[in-house]
Amino acid sequence: MAKPTMEERMAAYEKKAQKALDYAEISNVFALHEYYHHVPTKEFDMIFAQEQPDVSFGQNNGMWVGRDRVRNNYVGSTKEQLQKKLEALRKWHPDIPNDIKYALSGEAGFHMLTTPLIEIAEDGETAKGMWYTPGFLTMFNEKTGKWNCVWMYEKYAIDFIKEHGKWKIWHFNALCDWSAPYDKSWVESSEERRLNPGGDFMMLNDKRDLPGLGTEEYSTRRAQPNDYIKPPEPYRTFSETFSYGPPRK
């Protein structure tokens, strides 16, 4: 068998170097998500795909499809919604200034990225990624007048696409394995939700367009793992692999 020529070896090295560069750039793009984490406009316009009609954001209980739908339900609250939040907040805490910039007083969130698993297509145009993400949220409860502290473990399942030489998030899923108030275990919290359904603290602004990927939170009535999201695997081009986004027509 003939040895590779110098040109062939250089081409192979260049291909490996490009894949390593793509891996680093994808990691950076998604790390920006963790730093901004739903900050209006900045994150969405900076790192989400701009030219894909089926750009999507999904959770356990469904998926939104299209830039306007994703923006409305992923980016955060509109000005009108923030004003309503401020009014509800000040009913309980009138010492908070009547200024919309205080509408999210006391709210906070933080998620880490662990266990990166990234596969870049051989054609270099798309990629798939999966991470685990432990985190917490603090949100105001309009019924009690108090702030709820919640911790959770989630996994991300994402398709990336390259637009004009830059990697962008195409199909994004944040899938919760379990969540619980900070002073309760996930078992106790799961049992409370099972026996008293309808108190989903993660409900967002609008009904979903499509079902989600089939994940559910921890339950004592299911064996673990409670669901299985296929991890990224090597592929040549996106038409030859599965999608983390809407079903293909």
Instruction: Write the CATH number for 165.
Output: 3.10.450.50
Within a domain: 161: yes
- Does a structural domain hold residue 247? no
Task: Using alpha carbons, select from 54, 30, 26, 56 the residue that is nearest to residue 43.
Answer: 30
Determine the pLDDT at residue 203. 47
Contact 160, 169 (CB under 8 A): yes
- The helices-and-strands tally (H runs, E runs) of the chain is 5, 7
Q: Does a structural domain hold residue 30?
A: yes
Domain that holds residue 228: 9-240
pLDDT score at 12: 87
pLDDT of residue 38: 61
Sequence-distant (≥ 6) Cβ neighbours of residue 35 within 8 angstroms? none
Residue carrying structure tokens 């939170």: 217
User: Would 139 be classed as within a structural domain?
Assistant: yes
CB contact at 8 A, 54 and 246: yes
The answer to whether residue 246 sits within a structural domain is no
With respect to residue 109, please indicate whether it lies within any of the assigned structural domains: yes
Is residue 144 one of the residues assigned to a domain?
yes
pLDDT for res 206:
66
Q: Rounded to the nearest 10 degrees, how much is the dihedral formed by the CA atoms of 88, 152, 224, 116?
A: 130
Q: What is the pTM of this model?
A: 0.89
SS3 142: coil
Residue 4 inside a domain? The answer is no
Residue 102 is classified by DSSP as G
As a whole number of Å, the end-to-end CA separation of the chain is: 45
Q: Which helix (H) or strand (E) holds 141?
A: strand 126-141
Cβ count near 44 (within 10 Å): 22
The residues near 122 (Cβ < 8 Å, ≥ 6 apart) are 234, 235, 236, 237
- Going residue by residue through the chain (249 aa), what tens digit of pLDDT does each one get? 788 888 888 888 999 999 999 999 999 999 988 888 766 566 788 889 999 999 999 999 899 999 989 888 777 677 888 899 999 999 999 999 999 999 999 998 889 999 999 999 999 999 999 999 999 999 999 999 999 999 999 999 999 999 999 999 999 999 999 999 999 999 999 999 889 876 554 444 568 899 999 888 899 988 876 567 899 999 999 999 999 999 876
> How many structural domains is the chain composed of?
1
pLDDT score of 161: 98
